[in-house]
Structure 1
């Protein structure tokens, strides 16, 4: 292959650099926080979670630099991502990854975590409002375009209190928490209508069903940070998360028949969120059963993330990433 052809291929890959790659950042930061929760629950030092945090930061930085290069070189392609009915929901994955990073840094680097949280919270607010504004505008969205990925902006809002409550931004945390829950309920109704009464989702979007678990699981952890105790509403949120996890499990057989796609990274963060919520409940009420559930989910999460990294690396090597869809 000539140098000119190689350069053309590199430019084409950059132009097609997918916004969905930020799901990797969410998944890796979720793994970091799940490991941190396990270490806290079982009274272990944070050695493993710190190592995974370093790896997570490196992977997130690589994705961020790749998409930044696309923004600078191919702004028209970024506009195309924004106008895409599915890809638009992944833009808040940028702010979510930064919010999760700030949460992971609260104990180890609070002076870095605080300004990072403020920036990520502002970015989350802007992106969430922009995405929702686009949804309710005059763009031709159809029911068949809706997937559980549309929950991502709502999930981002309920992540804000995880570190915000620690830094004392209680009112801001409640603002985002309330907005996130409100749009979770609205979007849940719309998504379930789409899943029940319309054509099945395209095969590569089936893994996004796992995102159904994330909003109530993250909301439980946020509620625990804000209120300091489980309470009736906390019980409700965690129970709903378990119900959705069981519901998604009934669809697991479909995954074995599907080829790998970046959408498979949608499996990672919801599992992490449910593991963290289970550990949080175990700590709050001293439940050995929930410690076991949290640990089991963490083992599953480690296996899933390891497989996802392996399959993603194979796809990159085969040139199946950053290609036109």
Structure 2
């Protein structure tokens, strides 16, 4: 074999000098979800505190910039190391994170809509198409003949279901009612199925590894997002809507009980899983307050929003520190 051939980069197992890009994970899109969630939460709080509108716009711009940067890097990885992307796709845990790409697009469209309706609609349509394809592809991967083990199952598996349920939040406003109900129905069904599997795994099997334990917070997201989607489609609060919102509060209480354990864990990108579920619950609380006139829920929304701001600020600082210390994009 020639010297030139022997020194050529291997797209399957990249040498150390090429490992940074090769180990740029799809999980980075969870950062965009967190930022977009914060922007939407600040926007939802703005009717009661108008000065938060400017903060929402600023976070939205930062989130869009983060989405573009992360997309460029991940596209570069896909072109340079396609086999590494394939490895992520076949990874039992990272597979569930691929819909974070389309979820980020759907959240971005929802956040942009008050400023530019046409652009938001096109982003939403692209996100819906991608979400539909990824949902079928991911679920097909789950029910294929791969040798999944119980330890591979984490609350991160809810992400495809959450993506489907996000669709109606904007879809109902722009007139895509049937598409909204279609994806909402699929998301709810898979959430119920996965919730049963996840609770079985958490109760009867070994604890999750430390770096994935923060994904426990994702338990909050499906009912909170489902509440927002449901009231967007029916326009009011009924018994089912109340059940969804209160389910979010119940899961939040379960997560609060895990805080002492969370506080002892080392930082990993999975910590960004804390951000979007908190944002969803804050937005749901504000939305309930607007529809029902409940001052209590408005107070709850602001309380969660304060926690969310602190969490995102801490995550941004810790992620920046990890990048500076070369802790990110390392072989696992």
For the superposition of Structure 1 and Structure 2, which TM-score range results when normalised by the shorter chain? over 0.9
| 1:237 and 2:244 aligned | yes
> What's the counterpart of residue 264 of structure 1?
271
> What's the counterpart of residue 33 of structure 2?
26
1:152-301 correspondence to structure 2 within 5 Å: 152-301=159-308
Instruction: Specify the SS of the correspondent of 2:231.
Output: helix
Unpaired runs of 5+ in structure 2? Answer: 1-6, 8-13
- Structure with the bigger percentage of helix: 1
Q: 1:66 deviation in Å?
A: 1.0
Q: 1:9 deviation in Å?
A: 5.3
- Structure 1 CA distance for aligned equivalents of residues 48 and 168 of structure 2: 21
1:36-51 correspondence to structure 2 within 5 Å: 36-43=43-50, 46-51=53-58
- Relative to structure 1, is the Cα distance of residues 299 and 70 closer, same or farther in structure 2, using a 3 angstrom cutoff? same
Contact 1:41 1:283 in 2 (8 A): no
> What's the counterpart of residue 103 of structure 2?
96
Q: Which range moved further: 38-47 or 146-155?
A: 38-47
Contact 1:13 1:323 in 2 (8 A): yes
Q: 1:257 deviation in Å?
A: 1.0
> What's the counterpart of residue 3 of structure 2?
none
TM-score, normalized by length of structure 1? 0.96
- Counterpart pick for 2:158 among 144, 151, 158: 151
- Structure 2 CA distance for aligned equivalents of residues 41 and 128 of structure 1: 37
Report Cα offsets for 1:131-183 as digits up to 9, x if no partner.
Answer: 00100111111111100000000000000001111110000000000100000
Q: 1:308 deviation in Å?
A: 0.2
Where do 4+ consecutive residues of structure 1 move more than 3 Å?
7-10, 41-45
> What's the counterpart of residue 78 of structure 2?
71
Report Cα offsets for 1:174-214 as digits up to 9, x if no partner.
Answer: 00001000000000000000000000000111100000000
Instruction: Specify the SS of the correspondent of 2:71.
Output: helix
- Counterpart pick for 2:129 among 122, 133, 139: 122
1:123-138 correspondence to structure 2 within 5 Å: 123-138=130-145
Contact 1:208 1:264 in 2 (8 A): yes
Unpaired runs of 5+ in structure 1? Answer: none
> What's the counterpart of residue 35 of structure 1?
42
Contact 1:220 1:234 in 2 (8 A): yes
- Relative to structure 1, is the Cα distance of residues 279 and 10 closer, same or farther in structure 2, using a 3 angstrom cutoff? farther
- Structure 1 CA distance for aligned equivalents of residues 45 and 17 of structure 2: 41
Contact 1:147 1:208 in 2 (8 A): yes
| 1:311 and 2:321 aligned | no
- Structure 2 CA distance for aligned equivalents of residues 309 and 197 of structure 1: 35
RMSD: 1.4
Contact 2:96 2:157 in 1 (8 A): yes
Q: 1:42 deviation in Å?
A: 3.7
- Structure 1 CA distance for aligned equivalents of residues 169 and 254 of structure 2: 26
Q: 1:107 deviation in Å?
A: 1.2
Contact 2:42 2:52 in 1 (8 A): no
